[in-house]
Amino acid sequence: MPVFGPSARALFARNYPETPHTLPHNLTEHSLLTLDALAELGAALPESSTEYNRGDLPIGVDGKPGGTGLSIQDTIRKIATSNSWAVLKNIEQVPAYRDLLMSLLAEIQAEIETKTGAMLRPQGFVFISSPNAVTPYHFDPEHNILLQLKGSKVMTQFPAGNARFAPDTVHESYHSGGARELEWRDDFTAEGIELAIKAGEALFVPVMAPHFVRNGPDSSISLSITWRSDWSFEEADARGLNRILRNRGLAPASTSRWPGSNKAKAYTFRALRKLRLTGQAR
């Protein structure tokens, strides 16, 4: 049985890549995604691929808030009581998890590539969260489907590409090696869209859409399957050129959201990068 059935794929095709939406999935039970299996995965991954923090964080944070005092394995196994959230990053480093990730993305690859070009750099992330834990306000450079496996959560999303919620200068800094945490303002709250998911439901998150997450009253396991695309890399490289122009005292126009094109700026930036005239850039 496919994880994304025909109706889920049709829904995804209608909304990808710019419209947040929820869709059903069939991945609530899988031997690789139990707490014990994930604790073992946490031990197998390099330390740089694990992150775990207190769960009682504010929506906005300045930098990394620090750990819990527990190991990654104990954080996961005791997630119901450890008041924490943990992320296992780039799970595709372990062959069995790479096979799972690629099989999921293969189900929707045609719908992806029809709109945004080649599906590139597939990555997987697992989030294990204590009851009521908060993942602070940030954005991500990938197209993302978050599959809820256990428990529930509410993600509050804000419009991607709107400089009110993520200024152009922050995007440009990020693509040259800066952080992805954003400055939170309480008056943003009324303008966010709350999207609730429970086990058996998934949520699509557009590229660079600012968001924060509140976990439900039970501990939670979520799998995030992500990819980049021709379009997303062009947008990122156009941001790189804008950074160069801004550093020279100019005020460049912001990049376009899909289906707009950023090819001209992206190709200019790539030419400068080839000549090593750009500085550090993602």
Residue 101 token pair: 């990730």
pLDDT at position 55 is 65
Residue 7 token pair: 């109706």
pLDDT at position 57 is 61
Burial of residue 196 (number of CB atoms within 10 Å: 0-12, 13-18, 19+): middle
Cis before 259 (ω within 30): yes
Q: Residue holding tokens 């100019």?
A: 250
Q: Which residues of the chain have pLDDT under 70?
A: 54-58, 60-69, 279-282
Q: Which phi and psi angles does 77 have, rounded to 5°?
A: -65, -30
pLDDT at position 180 is 82
Residue 247 token pair: 């550093």
Set out the domains of the chain in order of their start, with CATH numbers. 6-229 (2.60.120.10), 232-275 (no CATH)
pLDDT at position 281 is 42
Residue 211 token pair: 């968001």
pLDDT at position 282 is 45
Strand ranges across the sheet with 152-157: 134-138, 211-215, 152-157, 193-198
pLDDT at position 78 is 83
Q: How far apart are CA 55 and CA 77, in angstroms?
A: 15
**Which tens digits make up the pLDDT trace of 170-224?**
999 999 888 888 999 999 999 999 999 999 999 999 999 999 999 999 999 999 9
- Which amino acid, one-letter code, is at 276? R
User: Quick one: which of 225, 144, 247 has its CA closest to 239?
Assistant: 247
125, 86 contact by CB (below 8 A): no
Cβ neighbour number for residue 57 with a 10 Å cutoff: 16
Q: How far apart are CA 26 and CA 51, in angstroms?
A: 27
pLDDT at position 69 is 65
Is 0.85 surpassed by the pTM of this model? yes
